[in-house]
Amino acid sequence: MNRTTNPIKIALVGNPNIGKTTLFNKLCGLNQRTGNYPGVTIDKKIGKVNNVSREIELIDLPGINSMFPNSKDEELVVKYLLNKKAIDYPDKLIVVVSAINLKRNLYLFDQIRDLNVPIILAINMTDLALKRGVAIDIDELKKRLQIPIVLISAKNSDGIDELKGFMCADQTIESREIHYLQEDEISTLHEYASFRNSFFDQNDIYAYFLELTSKTELSEADQLMKEKFLKDNEIDQRRLKTNSSILRYKHINTILSDTVKVDKSEATDLTTRLDRIFLHPIFGYIIFGLILFGIFQAIFWLASYPMDLIDMGFANLSTGVNNLLPEGYFTRLLTEGLIPGLGGVIIFIPQIAILFLLFSILEESGYMSRIVYLTDRLMQRFGMSGKSIIPMISGLACAIPAIMAARTIENSRERLITILVTPLLTCSARIPVYVVIIALIVPDDLNVWIFNAQGLALMALYLLGIMMTFIVAFVLKMIMKPTYKSYLLMEMPEYLRPDPKNVLIRVWHNVKAFVWNAGKIIIATAIILFVLATNGGDAFKGADETIKTEYRDLSIEEQDVLISSYKIENSYLGIMGQAIEPVLKPLGYDWKIGIAIITSLAAREVFVGTISVIYAIDSEEEMTIRDRLRNEVNPTTGLPVFGLATCVSLLLFYAFSLQCMSTVAVTYKETKSLRWTSIQFIYMSLLAYFSALIAFQLLS
Amino acid sequence: MEIKLSDFKKGMKGKIIDVLENPVSTKLAEFGILPGVAFSILNRAPFKGPIFIQIDNNRIALRFKEAAFIVVE
């Protein structure tokens, strides 16, 4: 094989929270996410290693605790590692372990070792371990394990060059004696291997062992064979697995007793001391509450300054372009379609950036796992696990990564409930809708005590979303039958100072992904909307004559205003909006809002863009979205269109409806069930419609 | 009567004697919760919430229900 054209494929494997992603960033210099709670690495990521003598493709796999998969995430990784015949199968593995947690990390290493794939063992966090008095005799360890071992510190780049050297070197591996099974178990597995006679090598006892003990995906015939064998030989799968774990730990203990010395004089370290405060039965929860409250206030008032600037900037840009370019259809498309639409996306970059910044810090520092611990008891009452809190908090930013993050939840019922309720949480796409509407009913400069009233209103909406999430989860818990026993077993990471580079890379990634994904949809809808709003049937084309003959007495200016509103009413867009008006009228919406609701079916944030496009076409002057909406008056009643009742009704509608096609798609992908995907969409739509209906009818 | 890990209070230290057969016994073994291992209770969440233990240098949180399968002294 030609080295220059065929890169070596190397995969990074290891337990969660051991700095695997930081190492990946260090090796590839590629912008990637990293975090301090299980499940940040959702899909495998691929990068090219920098500054090495040959081309290396590095694959970062999600962290796993065992080769006996328990969660969706682990299932995927184990399947990938077992499928040796796949074309993308790695040539080599780097197993990353933490020096402070060697015993348990080596357990996973020991399991992976039996795959007989060339392995490099990278012992990370050696700087921290040194401070803890952990001394590793690396030469002895190399002799015992018979593989390349390197001590590294991914954060400080220690040992990275040595690791790169090992990565480039050619490497083979011999199979070793089976120490994880007893004699009689080994012969049973040989029997199974010849009985099954599958595509695994007959001598690959480990592959057969995993197939026999785990819930792997098998064809129906294979599954029947496996079950027959288990029954005929009276095999207790759980006992077989537990015994193998005990034997592996025995093996590791003998190695570690000869190679690692721990000076236990440092009994209370920083993490233990911090946990006394953060996990305190009273203060722990108060701190958690304060952190959440801080996030909401930061999102609102901290972000409001750049947002006001952006809002004004886009209004000015429209005016500027309008004055600069000659009058015409293209200019109008720019100033009334594209620019306001684009502004609708850009305006909430500050909020998303702040949100992801704070989340990344929480994750990187290790606090996120403490939240899991603090909330597990409460979440269980609602049919979820403490681990559901991670998807739920991410759901406050965006439901899509949140639903994917639910993969770390081991129990399928807890996972399904989490997926079904997560989109009820206030995601960042709702923020622009909320911000625009709140601004219409709560004055800017109003303060309640020291807090900004608009911030409090936003917080109330967040709380409403959280409340509804729990109510629906509780209902689902009552309806759905428990599957198998749920459990929570997790490692609590050390508290670490968040690495600014990791945090910023993550913020940048999320903001970029948001702008790109939302931007595409919003700009496309803005253009379609504009075209639909500026074209129409005969009534639209004859607008000038109709108005001029019917309102002959009015001045030319007054006639112009009437013509433009007559035009939009009779445009294709107006006809569509009026068609659905009867359904939306009880909620207090006119046909223009109806159009915004239709267009934002694809993505909620389109609402603001649509509203600004529709009203921009309708009015002559350039002004900010907010002022434009404030000035909008219902022609029949003379009252503002965006009165209190309509605004509250809209807020509730957007709080509960699943107006995000990407979420629908990801729910389908993750549940592989059309039934649950439809249930989610339907229950949320009904919830939205009826709560908006009740609110409007009570308030108007 | 056997004493379970779930009976221990915050700050107490002990040794695991046995892990009773249960649906998650494999998982417990994989986390190093095995007979003969010394542990200390770092924290307990209120209302029979999770229990936070230290084994060697390893900090592990587990639910009350799971801790009830672990016989300790």
To test the contact with chain A by mutation, choose from B13, B48, B57 the residue with the greatest count of A C-beta atoms within 10 A, namely B57
> Do A527 and A445 share a structural domain?
no
Structural domain span for residue B20: 3-72
Confidence class of residue A691 from pLDDT cuts 50, 70 and 90?
Answer: very high
Note the pLDDT of residue A22: 85
Cβ contact A373–B30 (<8 Å): no
- State the average pLDDT for chain A: 84
Is residue A291 one of the residues assigned to a domain?
Answer: yes
- In the predicted structure, residue A267 carries a pLDDT above the cut 60: no
Note the pLDDT of residue A2: 44
Phi-psi region of A686 (alpha: psi -120 to 50; beta: other; left: phi over 0): alpha
> Do A472 and A332 share a structural domain?
yes
CB A167: neighbour CB atoms within 10 A?
Answer: 23
A interface with B, Cβ–Cβ below 8 Å: 65-66, 68, 70, 100-104, 107, 132, 134, 238, 241-242, 245-246, 249, 262, 271-272, 275-276, 279, 281, 369, 372-374, 376-377, 386, 484-485, 487-492
Structural domain span for residue A219: 183-235
Residue carrying the six token digits 């359904």: A583
Which of residues A661 and A644 earns the better pLDDT score? A644
Note the pLDDT of residue A34: 40
Percent of chain A with pLDDT over 70: 93
> Do A439 and A304 share a structural domain?
yes
| β-strand partners of B51 | B44, B62
Angstrom CA distances, A163 to A26, A81, A94, A112, A384, stand at 12, 22, 9, 19, 41
Q: Tokens representing A570?
A: 């009779």
> Do A199 and A151 share a structural domain?
no
Is residue A175 one of the residues assigned to a domain?
Answer: no
Cβ contact B61–A101 (<8 Å): no
**ipTM of this model?**
0.95
How large is the average pLDDT for residues A585-599? 87
Partners of residue B41 in chain A, C-beta under 8 Å? none
B50 → chain A, closest CA residue: A373
How large is the average pLDDT for residues A488-501? 86
> Do A455 and A345 share a structural domain?
yes
How many whole angstroms separate alpha carbon A507 and alpha carbon A426?
19
| β-strand partners of A123 | A97, A151
How many whole angstroms separate alpha carbon A597 and alpha carbon A440?
18
Element (DSSP H or E) covering residue A375: helix A367-381
CATH number for the domain harbouring residue A43: 3.40.50.300
CATH number for the domain harbouring residue B33: 2.30.30.90
Cβ contact A373–B52 (<8 Å): yes
Is residue A487 one of the residues assigned to a domain?
Answer: no
Size of interface A-B (CB pairs under 8 A): 110
Contact by Cβ (8 Å): B68, B1 = no
Note the pLDDT of residue A478: 92
Of residues A606, A649, A36, A668, the one with CA closest to residue A403: A668
Of residues A660, A184, A699, A611, the one with CA closest to residue A430: A660
Q: Of A70, A376, A491, which has the smallest distance from its Cβ to B49's Cβ?
A: A376
Q: Looking at the 3D structure of chain A, how many domains does it have?
A: 4
Confidence class of residue A80 from pLDDT cuts 50, 70 and 90?
Answer: confident
| Of A148-152, A216-220, B23-27, the least confident | A216-220
How many whole angstroms separate alpha carbon A545 and alpha carbon A436?
37
> Do A188 and A120 share a structural domain?
no
B60 → chain A, closest CA residue: A491
- In the predicted structure, residue A113 carries a pLDDT above the cut 90: yes
> Do A151 and A31 share a structural domain?
yes
- State the average pLDDT for chain B: 90
Q: What is the 3-state secondary structure (H, E, C) of A648-681?
A: HHHHHHHHHCCCEHHHHHHHHHHHCCHHHHHHHH
Q: Of B48, B50, B56, which has the smallest distance from its Cβ to A488's Cβ?
A: B50
How large is the average pLDDT for residues A254-280? 82
Domain boundary among A128, A143, A168: A168
Q: Tokens representing A232?
A: 């005929």
Q: Looking at the 3D structure of chain B, how many domains does it have?
A: 1
Contact by Cβ (8 Å): A384, A417 = yes
Is residue A260 one of the residues assigned to a domain?
Answer: no
How many whole angstroms separate alpha carbon A31 and alpha carbon A454?
36
Of residues A79, A109, A80, the one with CA closest to residue A95: A109
Of residues A17, A27, A21, A25, the one with CA closest to residue A49: A27
Note the pLDDT of residue A1: 43
CA distance A671 to chain B (A): 24
Confidence class of residue A266 from pLDDT cuts 50, 70 and 90?
Answer: low
Partners of residue B45 in chain A, C-beta under 8 Å? 279, 281, 373-374, 376-377
Domain boundary among A436, A457, A479: A479
- In the predicted structure, residue A634 carries a pLDDT above the cut 80: no
| β-strand partners of A57 | A9, A48
> Do A301 and A155 share a structural domain?
no
To test the contact with chain B by mutation, choose from A262, A377, A410 the residue with the greatest count of B C-beta atoms within 10 A, namely A377
The single-letter code of the amino acid at A622 is E
Is residue A96 one of the residues assigned to a domain?
Answer: yes
Domain boundary among A168, A199, A219: A168
Q: Of B30, B42, B46, which has the smallest distance from its Cβ to A281's Cβ?
A: B46
How large is the average pLDDT for residues A183-212? 85
- In the predicted structure, residue A218 carries a pLDDT above the cut 50: yes
Note the pLDDT of residue A432: 80
Cβ contact A487–B24 (<8 Å): yes
How large is the average pLDDT for residues A404-431? 88
A129 → chain B, closest CA residue: B57
> Do A133 and A26 share a structural domain?
yes
Partners of residue A102 in chain B, C-beta under 8 Å? 57
- In the predicted structure, residue A3 carries a pLDDT above the cut 50: no
Is residue A38 one of the residues assigned to a domain?
Answer: yes
Q: Tell me: the pLDDT tens digits for A52-65?
A: 888 888 888 888 99
Angle formed by the axes of helices A412-421 and A674-699, to 10°?
40
Q: Tell me: the pLDDT tens digits for B24-35?
A: 888 899 899 999
Partners of residue A272 in chain B, C-beta under 8 Å? 42
CB A149: neighbour CB atoms within 10 A?
Answer: 21
To test the contact with chain B by mutation, choose from A37, A102, A245, A379 the residue with the greatest count of B C-beta atoms within 10 A, namely A245
Is residue A340 one of the residues assigned to a domain?
Answer: yes
